[in-house]
């Protein structure tokens, strides 16, 4: 390890931030992470770490730890209004056919593993936020809401969908936000509504409910519904959000009513519009963005972790190559990674339309296609449809 002492401030200790810190600290950068939350968050929804995410996790040496905590579904059942199974499959077999690597894990567990890996030579400030960023050409002057000001060579926003770094350096979120026409809600209930490792799914036109049986006798429940308007609610107002969800599914049928009952015991309730962040550039001067802050693809993409870990790795390798030249480092990062984000963004819109159709005919076409996919032998499986891959740069 060589210590050239390039100073980097990262905002956000979710997934992208600590991954970037890990690779930079390995190469002698002087890294600080500032995180709004007072402590790391645990639990949360279930997410799939796919190809690019697995490749980066492997290079961080954490893939075996993720494998250990994996919470894969072994049995998928799509049911109708009479509780009859209309599609039943083992996703592990489908995965084998597609050749795609996927590790399902709770978000909090993934974040903890990434954070634990990025401890050596990284300074953490929890419970604080950046309040101003002044790019002075040869350095960046940063002030915080509580901590002392700091001068650094790079500021990286890895602070998620509502990134403060993006707002301060690039302008309001609304300039870059695209509403995909859906809302998503996810939460955990402390009871086993479905068996462990089983995923149960029920749909109506424009509406989908999924329940995942996870270890510990708990269930993660996810609701998705079509809504073209941007609804107005405060992030903290969970009572209003639950009301919005109830209204979207009320009048559905008995299955909807059954899953809506879960709301009464919901933990970590989450509801938000399904949106994407689409930016022409992820850097300005010495300030850059990664992960959801740069290119949120939406929860429906199933690729947010690939974008977070992949972007962190590609940026780290560019910064290692050009530690004293932010313009070159950022250009190289964007040259490699912008096309990946673009591809994931457009695939997400297509796949959301297919998986959550707004007509009964659309539902019938989807169900037939899924049944056919499950039957295809591996040599006929359309691999390019299911996975996005990237040849990661060698160095880092």
Q: How far is CA 394 from CA 82, 157, 173, 329, in A?
A: 53, 24, 34, 15
> How many CB atoms neighbour CB 90 within 10 A?
13
**H-helix or E-strand containing 91?**
helix 91-98
Q: Which is nearer to ligand FAD, 89 or 125 (CB)?
A: 125
At closest approach, how far in Å is the CB of 38 from ligand FAD? Answer: 10
List CB contacts of 52: < 8 A, sequence separation 6 or more: 303, 306, 307, 309, 310, 340, 388, 389, 390, 392
Nearer CB in complex with ligand FAD: 28/179: 179
Instruction: Indicate the residue among 28 and 178 with the shorter CB distance to ligand FAD.
Output: 178
Q: Name the pairing type of β-strands 85-89 and 130-135.
A: unpaired
Q: Which is nearer to ligand FAD, 297 or 336 (CB)?
A: 297
Helix (DSSP H) and strand (DSSP E) numbers for the chain? 13, 18
Residue with tokens 């890294």: 31
Q: Is 111 within 8 Å of 12 (Cβ atoms)? A: no
Helix (H, G, I), strand (E, B) or coil at 296: coil
Question: Of 37 and 375, which CB lies nearer to ligand FAD in the complex structure?
Answer: 37
Binding site for ligand FAD (CB under 6 A): 11-17, 34-37, 45, 47-48, 107, 129, 158-160, 162, 164, 184, 186, 270, 291-292, 299, 302-306, 308
Rounded least distance, CB 293 to ligand FAD, Å: 6
- Of 206 and 291, which CB lies nearer to ligand FAD in the complex structure? 291
We find the least distance from the C-beta atom of residue 177 to ligand FAD, in angstroms, to be 15
Number of neighbours of residue 270 by Cβ within 10 angstroms: 17
| CB of 286 vs ligand FAD, minimal distance in Å | 18
Least CB distance to ligand FAD at residue 42 (A): 12
Query: Measured in whole angstroms, how far is the alpha carbon of residue 178 from the centre of its chain?
Result: 16
Task: For the CB of residue 138, give the shortest distance to ligand FAD in the complex, in Å.
Answer: 25
Place of tokens 């209930």: 189
């Amino acid at each position: 390890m060589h210590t050239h002492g390039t100073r980097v401030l990262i905002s956000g200790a979710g997934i992208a931030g600590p991954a970037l810190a890990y690779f930079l600290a390995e190469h002698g950068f002087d890294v600080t992470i500032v995180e709004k939350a007072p402590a790391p968050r645990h639990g949360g929804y279930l997410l799939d770490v796919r190809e690019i995410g697995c490749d980066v996790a492997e290079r961080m040496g954490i893939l075996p730890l993720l494998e250990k905590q994996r919470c894969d579904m072994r049995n998928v059942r799509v049911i109708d209004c009479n509780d009859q199974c209309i599609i039943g499959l083992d996703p592990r077999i489908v995965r084998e056919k597609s050749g795609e690597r996927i590790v399902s894990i709770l978000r909090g567990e993934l974040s903890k593993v990434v954070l634990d890996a990025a401890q050596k030579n990284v300074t953490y400030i929890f419970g604080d936020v950046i309040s101003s960023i002044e790019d002075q050409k040869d350095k960046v002057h940063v002030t915080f809401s509580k901590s002392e000001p700091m001068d650094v060579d790079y500021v990286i926003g890895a602070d998620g969908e509502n990134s403060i770094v993006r707002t301060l350096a690039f302008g309001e979120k609304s300039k870059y936000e695209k509403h995909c026409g859906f809302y998503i809600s996810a939460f955990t209930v402390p009871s086993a509504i479905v068996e462990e490792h089983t995923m149960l799914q029920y749909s109506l036109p424009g509406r989908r409910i999924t329940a995942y049986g996870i270890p510990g006798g708990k269930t993660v429940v996810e609701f998705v519904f079509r809504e073209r308007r941007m609804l107005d609610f405060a992030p903290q107002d969970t009572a209003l959000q639950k009301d919005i969800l109830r209204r979207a599914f009320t009048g559905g049928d008995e299955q909807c009513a059954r899953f809506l009952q879960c709301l009464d015991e919901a933990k970590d309730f989450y509801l938000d519009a399904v949106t994407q962040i689409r930016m022409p550039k992820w850097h300005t001067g010495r300030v850059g963005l990664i992960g959801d802050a740069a290119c949120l693809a939406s929860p429906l993409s199933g690729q947010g972790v690939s974008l977070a870990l992949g972007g962190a790795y590609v940026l780290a390798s560019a910064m290692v190559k050009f530690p004293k030249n932010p313009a070159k480092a950022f250009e190289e990062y964007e040259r490699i990674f912008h096309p990946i984000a673009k591809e994931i963004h457009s695939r997400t819109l297509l796949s959301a339309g297919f998986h959550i159709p707004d007509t009964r005919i659309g539902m019938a076409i989807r169900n037939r296609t899924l049944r056919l996919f499950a039957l295809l032998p591996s040599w006929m499986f359309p691999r390019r449809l299911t996975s996005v891959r990237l040849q990661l740069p060698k160095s880092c």
